[in-house]
Amino acid sequence: MAYISMTLPGIARGPHEHRDQADGFCFIGPSTFRLFLWDNRPSSPTHGTHWTCDVGESAMTFVVVPPGVVHGYKNIGQTEGIVFNAPDRLYAGTGRLEPVDEIRHESDADSPFRIL
């Protein structure tokens, strides 16, 4: 599955995570995005680590986010920005008959995963 999305300046997507799905993101531009990652995998040696980087217009980047890593991004530029999305599973599976593999954190006021 693959799709392209457009994000307006100041708008964030996420944070969320997946139990089994890996997400691939290519930040194409023409804007700049701040990418947020939190390792939420209990068995990972980097569990609890939070990382951010700026990607997009000046640093076109392809990122693969493994299952269990909470992720999101925000358009911090002045123009709309384009992101190519390539998860390794179909949304809700073949025929949309499976549960959606997504844990949303953006609506939880007590969540430690915040996009600022």
From the CB of residue 99, how many other CB atoms can be counted at a distance below 10 Å?
8
pLDDT for the residue numbered 89: 86
pLDDT for the residue numbered 29: 83
CATH topology of domain 3-104: Jelly Rolls (2.60.120)
Q: What are the C-alpha distances in Å from 44 to residues 1, 13, 40, 51, 82?
A: 27, 25, 8, 15, 31
User: Pick the residue with more confidence: 116 or 41?
Assistant: 41
pLDDT in tens, 45-90: 999 999 999 999 889 889 999 999 999 999 999 999 999 999 998 8
CA gap 18, 66 in Å, rounded:
8
Scan for tokens 């996420």, then name that residue.
14
Classified as helix, coil or strand, 69 is strand
